[in-house]
Amino acid sequence: MEESFYYPVLWGVIAALTGALIWVQGNLVFYLKTVSRNAMLAGQCQRQMRYLRVLRLLLAGGAVLLTIGGMAAAFQDYQLHNCRLKAQREAVWPRYDAQVFWTAPDDFLAETDQSAKAIGYGRDLIAHTQDYFGKNGVVRPNSINALNCQNCHLEAGSRVFGNNYFAVESTYPQMRARSGSLETIPKRINDCFERSLNGQALDTTGPEMRAILAYMRWLGTGVPKGAKPKGTGLVEVPFLQRAADPHRGAQVYASKCASCHGPGGQGLPMPESARHYPPLWGERSYNQAAGLFRLSRFAGYVKANMPLGASYDNPQLTDEEAWDVAAFVNAQPRPPHPFLATDWPDVAKKNFDHPFGPYADTFPEKQHKFGPFAPIIAFYKK
Ligand code: HEC
Ligand code: HEC
């Protein structure tokens, strides 16, 4: 407080003094010139003129000294500011604890980051993807379906068990069996653009990709390399003994989902808002190559997040309801899988609930889609 008062006053005094010195000095120069043009006057006042010249030099020297002093003080001020900022950033820097549910880092760390602007833009791209890439999108219109990243990565990817991004910065690049290659973060982001958003990949060097990367880097603040904080991703819903049942799921859907997502799964406008409840199936939903098309991902997502208001510690669906409604929704029509020919170069590594053959086992496609899954897992353990 005292310094924040002290410095502006100091600046004012230094600037005023320097200005006054330059002004007086300039007047003296003018005066000396005028007098020396008059030969008689100059002859009579030689001594006074000499004093004035010395005074003029002294004043000019004073102005120079004050300017140098002012610059030194400014530099000092800048350093002090940086030092404080560093201390404040350190004070709110998250301390990693593998036992504790991880949450988003303090906003202060984003606002005072070198890439503060990019982080903010990245967050908005995640939350309001439609505004940039949707029907009337300002970056690249009509290049995705009707979803925002945030519809599936809740609270812009910062919610416990809301499919958050806390482990992205810490665990990529990573080998992924789906592509059979080492995947970078931009590649993984574009996976969701092409599958969950059934759209076009982003230019990996463009400002939008760089903003999303900056945002995810900030979200991963304090997470040690390789670590996956508690509460990352989705909950794992215990397997049923039976196959998940789309018919039972239809009843769950009608009573607990249709009011927001629409009786035909097409989504609905939100009352008193320009936003929409997102579609769950149909042309404007995720395609068959998306993560949610795997039953275990869908069940894990809804168990901890749906109907809206549910959470991992206050779920509103039983395990059976979560699996059955997943089976119902994923039995409805949606855009086809665009990458069947290239995904899973090693078929033996397919996820147990990857619903497209061929497989390295003898379980039918239908069982890979709806379960029961325990026998499939047991087969691969052997
Ligand atoms: C329809 C739902 C959906 C939408 C929309 C969606 N995603 Fe995803 N995303 C998923 C699922 C499901 C996973 C994988 C979860 C798993 O395998 O455990 C995932 C995983 C990811 C991952 C990897 C996370 C990790 O820790 O490995 C990133 C990064 C990602 N998504 C980014 C995005 C971005 C960026 C967007 C918007 C352009 C987006 N997603 C939109 C469903 C979605
Ligand atoms: C009160 C309204 C409401 C109800 C009821 C509701 N949802 Fe949602 N659902 C939402 C909203 C809103 C989102 C997007 C969340 C966001 O963007 O923050 C969403 C997102 C989703 C998503 C991911 C986005 C997508 O479109 O694929 C799935 C899957 C989903 N809900 C499934 C369900 C299921 C299954 C049920 C019933 C068990 C259900 N929801 C009930 C409001 C609701």
Atom of ligand 2 at shortest distance to CA of 256? 37
122 lines ligand 2 (CB under 6 A): no
Average of pLDDT values for 235-254? 98
Give the number of whichever ligand sits closest to the CA of residue 290: 1
Q: Model pTM? A: 0.90
What is the rounded CA–CA span in Å between residue 355 and residue 294?
7
328 lines ligand 2 (CB under 6 A): no
List, in sequence order, every residue forming a beta bridge with 174; answer none if it has no partner. Answer: 183
What is the pairing mode between strands 276-277 and 181-183? unpaired
The amino acid at residue 73 is: A
pLDDT at 4 over 70: no
Position 302 confidence tier, pLDDT thresholds 50, 70, 90: very high
Compute, in angstroms, the gap from residue 95 CA to the centroid of ligand 2.
33
Q: By percentage, how much of the chain surpasses pLDDT 90?
A: 79
**What are 104's two structure tokens?**
């988003």
pLDDT at 1 over 50: no
Q: Which of 355, 313, 316 has its CA nearest to residue 334?
A: 355
154 lines ligand 2 (CB under 6 A): yes
Compute, in angstroms, the gap from residue 301 CA to the centroid of ligand 2.
10
List, for residues 160-179, the tens digit of each pLDDT value.
999 999 999 999 999 999 99
295 lines ligand 2 (CB under 6 A): no
Compute, in angstroms, the gap from residue 291 CA to the centroid of ligand 2.
16
List, for residues 203-223, the tens digit of each pLDDT value.
999 999 999 999 999 999 999
Smallest CA separation from ligand 1 atom 17, residue: 291
List, for residues 271-285, the tens digit of each pLDDT value.
888 889 999 999 999
Average of pLDDT values for 55-62? 88
Atom of ligand 1 at shortest distance to CA of 297? 12
What is the rounded CA–CA span in Å between residue 81 and residue 92?
17
State how far the alpha carbon of 294 is from the alpha carbons of 58, 270, 326, 330, 358, in Å. Answer: 83, 28, 9, 8, 16
Q: Give the residues surrounding ligand 1 with Cβ less than 6 Å away.
A: 129, 147, 149, 151-153, 163, 165, 167-168, 188-189, 192-193, 196-197, 212, 233-234, 286, 290-292, 297
Q: Is residue 63 a contact partner of residue 25, using CB atoms and an 8 Å limit?
A: yes
Backbone angles phi, psi at 353, to 5 degrees: -110, 30
List, in sequence order, every residue forming a beta bridge with 155; answer none if it has no partner. Answer: none
Position 155 confidence tier, pLDDT thresholds 50, 70, 90: very high
